[in-house]
Structure 1
Amino acid sequence: MKTPDFSSLVALFQEARRLAEMNQRPIVAVSSSPAPTLDPLRLYTAHRQGFFWCSRQPDLTLFGLGCEWQAEASGSQRMVEINRQWTTLCADALIEGPNPPLLLGGMRFDEQQPTAPHWTAFADASFHLAHWLVSEDAGGRWLRCQRRVEPGSDPVALAHDSLAAYQQLVRALPSLVSTPGVIERNALPASQWQAKVDNALHAIDGGELSKVVLARHVEYQLDAAFDSGAVMLRLHEQRSQSHLFAVHRGDSCFMGATPERLLSSQDGCLSTHALAGSTRRGLTPDEDQALGERLLADKKERLEHHLVVQTIAQGLNALVTDLQAAAHPCLLKLPTVQHLSTPMKARLKEEYSLLDGIQALHPTPAVGGLPRTTALDFIRRNEGFDRGWYAAPVGWLDSQGNGDFLVALRSALLTPKHCHLFAGCGIVQGSRSSDEYQETEIKLASIGRALRLAK
């Protein structure tokens, strides 16, 4: 494609500076144009930086490079604070073309949990406005330049800087294509993790909990750094119905292929799905069908699933109208596992935002438990590690209230010489610790296959 036009960028930034000086505050300026030759996946695999996103139904791929503006927040109301900062910044956004400014990021699972050293680059809540953003959907491929223009800014200097950053975006970079060797693998032995499940079952039998999700953390010490681009290519090849994401902070990358959408908003219409209850995939079509039918009929799995449906509905109730949920769950089939899934839709009330919905829902019983406060306390006391951004919302939102957030499951944190894998499962009455351990093994395999970790 043609290089973005210098004079057009200068004119855009001049007008943004005029508005900034008039209002005495920064103005976001966005210029977007068709970019049929720019492939977000190819660009991400070349740069191995920024933010990558590939969601299904609807299909959308994003690659954002460079940080033009950052919003961070801590505490229990962190998403409300992010929404306040973003809304303030975009109040008078100057938009040239059909695409509004778009913010990318996520948050920690539990802001009360002490932060482990390998998660220090990832704040309680952290969102970036990418300098250059490439998107691909049913309408084609688009390139966005997003700038925060201050009163007194130099439009010519901003335009030169943006064009230099664009040249970096499209510049071909050498691929690492390295598959590190494993120096050491650290994980809680199966018997010790299963003892934690037994503790959870004891609390459930005693009436303290109706459900709690316990996760596992597997750490690999490596002899070289992973090529996150190569890993993403493999995840893309095997993605099935999964959504893909990669978030870079410094030299760390949190990435995964998750089956679960927490909440999306398009023109005020919210979409989500309850996802709980799982079994493995069969080796033959007949076995796979039999396993799916058994899952649909399993009372324990159906109970776990119903709790998630019920809690999502309760969490959204005050924020929405016309809440609808499918009468019965269906099967969501992924490469190594199949889940019970119930689609849900609602209309967001005008006085609320998508991030209000995220704040209300997280953590759902699919990743936390019930009652929520008691389950979180049990996880803090018993799980034994910092989840960081694992099982937390990761996604995007634009200045018009649209956005999409995933639950960051089937994921890994890559650092220069370590790799951290995470997987969990829901414990309810009737769970068996050995079965739950095997379920986590199946879930770990989905990301482990793309990482090609070899002992």
Structure 2
Amino acid sequence: MSEDIFFQNIEEQYTNKLPFVVYSRPINSVIKCWLQVDDTLYNTNNFSESGFVFSPFDLNRPAIVLPQSECKHHIFEVETLQVEDDEETRLPANSEGKETHIKLVEKGIEAIKSNKLEKVVLSRFEERPVTENPISIFKRLFNTYKNAMVYCWYHPKAGLWLGATPELLFKIEGQQLTTISLAGTKAYNPNGQPNWTEKELKEQQIVTDYLAQQISDYTDTTNISEVETIRAGNLWHLKSRLISRVSKKTELKSIIEALHPTPAVCGFPKEDSKQFILDHENYNREFYTGFLGELNLQFSKTRNPNRRNVENNAYSIVKKQSNFYVNLRCMQVKDNLAKIYIGGGITKGSVAETEWEETQNKAKTIGRILR
């Protein structure tokens, strides 16, 4: 299928107000789209279906599934997409909401100093005008953020969302579970690696320790990689990878409830920080800091990776795989306005003014693809 036909199908789906998702996983030139055949809203609470899932931050609210059986599927491979008017727009910093956000961060710091919380992630949003087609925005996301899961998701009964998230919540292939600890943020400098402070290193370690503890009831020994610095757009982050083997009796929902939301998007302890967010942010995050991705899809794996062994290669094992990404660096588009969501991790050493500046950097990261 050609690029023109691939995106024409998606354009027609959007024009006809029918649900779809188009996406590409990190460091991957493969773009997939799922086109639902009608506008039915399918929800899930147990995550037992097969399809593409879009889950909110608060698991007390139902997740939405585009069922695999109710969708047409297209796929093609390309390195760079054609986008009209691809000259970057330099958006000015937006100081609206500064006082409100600083007061919110100060409340978070106060709760931490009084030992009610160890960390809390506090967020806000900025609104920017949008006049172009969402498919053009997706193409620019794909061209710009190669180390991210980039997507455009639409359902006429739930809204239009786009994003470029660098953070894997977790993936399961057969019994192997992989999750990522990603925290700490600094503006990208092409002249060298960032100088991480104790505050940022501790923030990342909190996430790593939390993930290892949460999956310990469902897995064997967890292997944790060394901390590394990665780039996501114009930002640096700290990253560790955790790999385990899940017991066969474990349900996918149990892993989801154990890991979501992580300290990287919520805080620690989880329930206390989540309640603080719900009580004090004064807006509904909806799908921001939720998760999205492929749910319970089947794949075949040969028993013997040696291709010369034809006899053994005739036998393959069919397994399920799921891969979920945290919905960061995202926006919701409605009535010609893009609502850009941004936040940051607050710990005892946080400075409210610095946290405000960090959210401004993050707003530029996703906002720079708007024209």
With structure 2 as the length reference, what TM-score do the two structures score? 0.82
Deviations 1:53-98 (A, max 9, x none): 210256653200124776414xxxx2xx231xx2xxxxxxxxxxxx
Question: Aligned letter for 1:103?
Answer: G
Is residue 52–residue 66 contact of structure 2 (8 Å, CA) maintained in 1? yes
| Residue 63 in structure 1 maps to residue 33 in structure 2 | yes
CA drift of 1:322 comes to 3.2
Q: Which of 63, 66, 69 is equivalent to 1:125?
A: 63
* 1:10-65: CA deviation from partner (whole Å, max 9, x where unpaired): xxxxxxxxxxxxxxxxxxxxxxxxx6889756754675450112102566532001
CA 1:414–1:127 in structure 2 vs 1: closer, same or farther (change >3 Å)? same
Contact 1:270/1:345 (8 A) holds in 2: yes
Aligned partner of 1:11 in structure 2 is: none
Q: Does 1:338 align with 2:240?
A: no
1:448, distance to aligned residue in structure 2 (A): 0.5
Q: For 1:444, what is the secondary structure of its paired residue?
A: helix
Distance 1:348 1:58 in 2: 26
Q: Which amino acid aligns with 2:113?
A: D
| Residue 418 of structure 1: how far off its partner (Å) | 2.7
Unpaired segments of 5 or more residues in structure 2?
Answer: 88-92, 299-318
Matched, 1:299 2:270: no
- Please state if 1:430 is matched with 2:319: no
Report what 1:158 is aligned to: none
Change (3 A) 1:352 1:203: same
Match in the other structure for 1:263: 170
Report the more deviating stretch, 46-55 or 257-266: 46-55
- Among 207, 225, 230, the alignment partner of 2:115 is 207
Name the structure 1 match of 2:141.
235
Counterpart CA distance in 1 for 2:186 and 2:357 is 10
Report the counterpart of residue 75 of structure 2 in structure 1: 135
Q: Identify the match of residue 43 of structure 2 among 59, 72, 80.
A: 72
Matching residue within 371, 375, 381 for 2:269: 371
CA–CA distance in 1 between the matches of 2:84 and 2:28?
Answer: 32
Separation (CA, whole Å) in 2 of partners of 1:176 and 1:240: 19
How far apart are 1:211 and its partner, in Å? 0.1
Residues 196 and 353 of structure 1: CA distance in aligned 2, closer, same or farther (over 3 Å): same
Which of the numbers 402, 408, 412 marks the counterpart of 2:331?
A: 412
Say if 2:26 and 2:166, in contact at 8 Å, map to a contact too: no
1:240-251 alignment to 2 at 5 Å? 240-250=146-156
Structure 1 contact 245–257 (Cα < 8 Å) conserved: yes
Relative to structure 1, the CA distance from residue 438 to residue 43 in structure 2 (aligned partners, 3 Å threshold; closer, same or farther) is farther
Residues 43, 449 of structure 1: alpha-carbon distance in 2 compared, 3 angstrom cutoff: farther
Tell me the CA shift for residue 417 of structure 1. 3.1
Q: For 2:210, give the aligned amino acid.
A: T
Q: Which residue of 1 aligns with 2:212?
A: 313
In structure 2, the partner of 1:194 is 102
Shift of 1:226: 3.8
What letter matches 1:124 in structure 2?
A: P
Alignment CA distance shift 1:357-1:188 (3 Å): farther
Check the 8 A contact 1:354/1:402 in 2, yes or no.
no
Which residue of 1 is the match for residue 188 of structure 2?
281
Aligned residues: 333
Question: What amino acid is the match of 1:106?
Answer: F
SS of 2:221's equivalent?
A: strand
Question: Cα–Cα, structure 1 residues 127 and 406, in superposed 2: closer, same or farther, change >3 Å?
Answer: same
Give the TM-score, by structure 1 length.
0.67
Which residue is 2:310 aligned to? none
Largest Rg, 1 or 2: 1
Q: Structure 2 vs 1, CA of residues 356 and 260 (structure 1 numbering), >3 Å: closer, same or farther?
A: same
Answer with 43-52 or 335-344: which moved more.
43-52
Name 1:148's counterpart in structure 2: none
Looking at structure 1, the residues matched to 350 and 174 of structure 2 have their Cα atoms a distance apart, in angstroms, of 41
Question: Which of 352, 358, 370 is matched with 1:439 structurally?
Answer: 358
Output the CA distance in 1 between the equivalents of 2:28 and 2:251: 20
> Are 1:253 and 2:223 an aligned pair?
no
Q: Residue type matched to 2:362 in 1?
A: K
**Structure 2: distance between partners of 1:377 and 1:47:** 38
In structure 2, what is the Cα distance between the partners aligned to 1:268 and 1:393?
21
Higher alpha-carbon deviation: 231-240 or 360-369? 231-240
2:124 corresponds to: 216
SS at the partner of 2:264? coil
Output the aligned Cα RMSD. Answer: 2.9
Q: What one-letter code is carried by the residue in structure 1 that aligns with 2:283?
A: F
Q: Which amino acid aligns with 1:320?
A: T
Aligned: 1:82 with 2:47: yes
Of the three residues 97, 104, 117, the one matched with 2:52 is 104
Distance in 2 (CA, whole Å) between partners of 1:262 and 1:107 is 12
Give the distance between the partners of 2:94 and 2:274, measured in 1 at CA: 25
Question: Highest relative contact order (Cα 8 Å, sep 6+), 1 or 2?
Answer: 2
Instruction: Give 2:72's aligned amino acid.
Output: W
Counterparts of residues 320-331 of structure 1 (less than 5 Å): 320-326=219-225, 328-331=226-229
